[in-house]
C-alpha cells in the first residue's frame, strides 16, 4: 500500500462515503444477472476491483464487487442529499468497489470506488472492462500490482515537492459550517458544447473569481511514463498551477504543457509521507485543515480540476442499453474546497463538483457554475 493510498483512509470517517462514482445513464435496460456475470468476468482480469486491506498491504480477495439493484432515480440537483449516492459501500465494511444498477428512469449504472484502491483513470478502466464483458468481449487485463510509489522509485523525481501551505482563497469564498447542514455539496451540469481547452478555461475562470493567486491542483496520470503498464491502482499525482487573476487560458495551457514536459507531478509523491503518521494524528491534521478553509478561507489549494477523457455512446453501448452520458462524481474532501470533474461525451461536456459547504456557499457555487457554463458554451 503506497503512502498516497494510506492518506485516503481517514477521509472515510471525515468525508463519508469518500467514494469516486462514475455515473452512466442511458436508454434501455440491463439484466441484473448479466451485469453480475460481467462484473465477475471483468474483475478476474482487473483484480484491483477485488482488493481488501490486510494491514499495510492490499490483498486480492478473489471476491468480485457486489452488484446492487435499486429502483431509484438520482436526486437532482442536490445530489449530496441522494440516499443512494451517499450510502456506504457494501456489502461489508472492508469492500472497496461496488456497482449499482438504478432501474428508475433513466436506467443508470454507477461504479463506486474507494480512492484507496484506484485513481480516476483506474476507475474508468474498470468500468469499461465491465462494459466490454457485457458486450461479450474479452476485458483488457490490468494485472500489474504497481502504484505511484513503485513507479516513481523506478523513473525518479526531477525536483523537490511544492510546499503545502494553507494560504489560498477559493472562488466560492468561505463560510462557517453548521452541524445541521450537510458538510459538502455535490452538483452536476451538462453543457451543450465540447469546448477546446475546457480544463484550462475553467482554471482561468476560477482564478479570475478568486482574490490573490490561485493554486489549482490538476491530477496527472502517471501511466504516461510507462505506456506498457497495466494497472488500475493509484497512479496519479498532482501538478500544481499557481495562477494570477486575469491570466489568459492559453497561457495556462502553456503552463500545463511546461509542467508536464518537466515531469513536475513526480515530485509530489514526497508530500504523501504525511500518511506515515498514525491515523488519529492524520485525522486531527485534516480537521484543522478543514477549519482553516471554512472559517478563515485559507486552503492548501484553491481547487482541484481534472479532465477524465472523451467518450461516445457508440464505444460504451451494450446490448439493450445505450449510454446518454458519462460523468464522474468526485469524492468529498475536508482538505480541498472544490473538486471539479470534466468529461466529454458525444459533443457535450459533463461538469461535476464537490464543494465544502458553509454559510452562503451554495448560492455562490450555483452562480459560479452558471458562469462556467456560459463561458464554455460561448467559447465553443
- Residue 41 falls in which region: left (phi positive, over 0), alpha (psi -120 to 50) or beta: alpha
Calpha distance 297→291 (Å, rounded): 9
C-alpha cell read off for 315: 464505444
Helix (H), strand (E) counts: the chain: 10, 14
Cell of 244: 494570477
Backbone angles phi, psi at 322, to 5 degrees: -120, 115
Return the pLDDT at 294: 93
Set of cell numbers at residue 74: 438520482
Q: Which three cell numbers stand for residue 122?
A: 483506474
Phi, psi of 90, deg, nearest 5: -140, -175
- Report pLDDT for 220: 98
Q: What's the rounded Cα separation, in Å, for the pair 22 and 113?
A: 8
Note whether 186 and 85 are within 8 A (CB): yes
Q: What CA dihedral angle connects 41, 46, 49 and 54, to 10 degrees?
A: 120
Give the span between the Cα atoms of 372 and 354, in whole angstroms.
15
Q: What is the pLDDT of residue 283?
A: 86
Q: Of 313, 342, 345, give the one whose Cα is nearest residue 328.
A: 342
- C-alpha cell belonging to residue 55: 494491514
The pair phi, psi for residue 168, each rounded to 5°, is: -100, 135
pLDDT in tens, the chain (380 residues): 999 999 899 999 999 999 999 999 999 999 999 999 999 999 999 999 999 999 999 999 999 999 999 999 999 999 999 999 999 998 999 999 999 999 999 999 999 999 999 999 999 999 999 999 999 999 999 999 999 999 999 999 999 999 999 999 999 999 999 988 999 999 999 999 999 999 999 999 999 999 999 999 999 999 999 999 999 999 999 999 999 999 999 999 999 999 999 999 999 998 887 777 788 888 898 899 999 999 999 999 999 999 999 999 999 999 999 999 999 999 999 999 999 999 999 999 999 999 999 999 999 999 999 999 999 998 86
Q: Rounded to an integer, what distance in angstroms lies between the CA atom of residue 132 and that of residue 135?
A: 5
HSE of 188, CA atoms in CB hemisphere, 13 A:
23
**How many other C-beta atoms can be found within 10 angstroms of the C-beta atom of residue 362?**
19
**According to the model, what pLDDT value does residue 120 have?**
97
pTM above 0.85, yes or no: yes
Cell representation of residue 198: 475546457
Which CA distances in Å does 11 have to 15, 239, 285, 331? 5, 22, 11, 9
E strand spans, 30-146: 51-54, 57-60, 66-70, 97-102, 107-114
Instruction: Give residue 186's pLDDT.
Output: 98
For 324-337, the DSSP string reads: S--EEEPPP-SS-S
Residue 62: name the closest of 42, 39, 43 by CA. 43
- Spatial separation of the C-alpha atoms in residues 364 and 338, rounded to whole Å: 12
pLDDT recorded at residue 182: 94
The residues facing 111 across adjacent strands are 22, 99
pLDDT of residue 218: 98
Task: State the Cα–Cα distance between residues 122 and 117, nearest whole angstrom.
Answer: 9
Nearby residues of 120 by Cβ (< 8 Å), 6 or more positions away:
20, 219, 236, 306, 308, 328, 341
Q: Are strands 303-311 and 214-221 parallel, antiparallel or unpaired?
A: parallel
Lookup result for grid cell 449516492? 85
Amino acid at each position: 500500500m503506497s503512502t498516497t493510498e494510506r492518506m485516503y483512509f481517514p477521509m472515510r470517517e471525515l468525508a463519508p462515503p469518500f467514494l469516486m462514482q462514475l455515473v452512466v445513464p442511458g436508454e434501455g435496460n440491463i439484466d441484473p444477472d448479466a451485469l453480475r456475470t460481467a462484473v465477475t468476468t471483468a474483475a478476474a482480469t482487473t483484480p484491483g476491483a477485488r482488493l481488501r486491506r490486510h494491514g499495510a498491504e492490499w490483498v486480492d480477495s478473489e471476491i468480485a464487487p457486489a452488484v446492487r439493484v435499486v429502483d431509484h432515480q438520482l436526486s437532482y440537483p442536490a445530489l449530496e442529499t441522494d440516499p443512494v449516492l451517499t450510502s456506504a459501500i457494501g456489502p461489508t465494511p472492508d469492500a472497496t468497489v461496488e456497482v449499482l444498477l438504478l432501474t428508475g428512469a433513466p436506467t443508470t449504472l454507477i461504479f463506486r470506488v474507494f480512492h484507496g484502491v484506484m485513481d480516476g483513470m483506474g476507475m474508468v478502466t474498470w468500468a469499461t472492462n465491465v462494459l466490454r464483458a457485457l458486450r461479450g468481449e474479452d476485458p483488457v487485463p490490468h494485472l500489474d500490482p504497481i502504484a505511484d510509489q513503485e513507479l516513481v522509485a523506478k523513473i525518479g523525481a526531477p525536483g523537490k515537492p511544492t510546499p503545502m501551505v494553507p494560504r489560498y482563497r477559493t472562488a466560492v469564498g468561505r463560510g462557517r459550517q453548521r452541524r445541521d447542514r450537510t458538510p459538502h455539496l455535490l452538483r452536476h451540469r451538462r453543457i451543450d458544447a465540447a469546448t477546446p481547452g475546457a480544463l484550462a478555461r475553467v482554471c482561468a475562470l476560477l482564478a479570475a473569481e478568486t482574490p490573490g493567486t490561485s493554486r489549482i491542483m490538476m491530477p496527472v496520470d502517471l501511466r504516461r511514463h510507462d505506456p506498457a503498464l497495466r494497472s488500475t491502482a493509484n497512479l496519479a499525482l498532482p501538478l500544481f498551477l499557481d495562477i494570477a487573476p486575469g491570466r489568459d487560458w492559453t497561457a495556462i495551457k502553456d503552463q500545463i504543457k511546461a509542467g508536464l514536459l518537466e515531469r513536475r507531478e513526480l515530485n509530489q509523491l514526497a508530500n504523501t509521507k504525511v500518511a506515515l503518521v498514525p491515523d488519529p494524528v492524520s485525522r486531527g491534521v485534516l480537521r484543522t485543515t478543514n477549519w482553516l478553509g471554512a472559517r478563515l478561507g485559507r486552503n492548501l489549494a484553491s481547487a482541484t480540476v481534472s479532465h477524465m477523457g472523451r467518450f461516445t455512446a457508440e464505444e460504451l453501448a451494450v446490448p439493450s442499453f445505450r449510454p446518454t452520458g458519462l460523468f464522474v462524481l468526485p469524492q468529498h474532501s475536508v482538505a480541498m474546497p472544490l473538486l471539479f470533474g470534466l468529461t466529454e461525451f458525444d459533443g457535450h461536456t459533463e461538469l461535476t463538483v464537490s464543494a465544502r459547504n458553509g454559510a452562503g456557499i451554495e448560492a455562490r457555487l450555483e452562480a459560479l457554475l452558471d458562469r462556467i457554463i456560459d463561458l464554455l458554451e460561448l467559447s465553443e
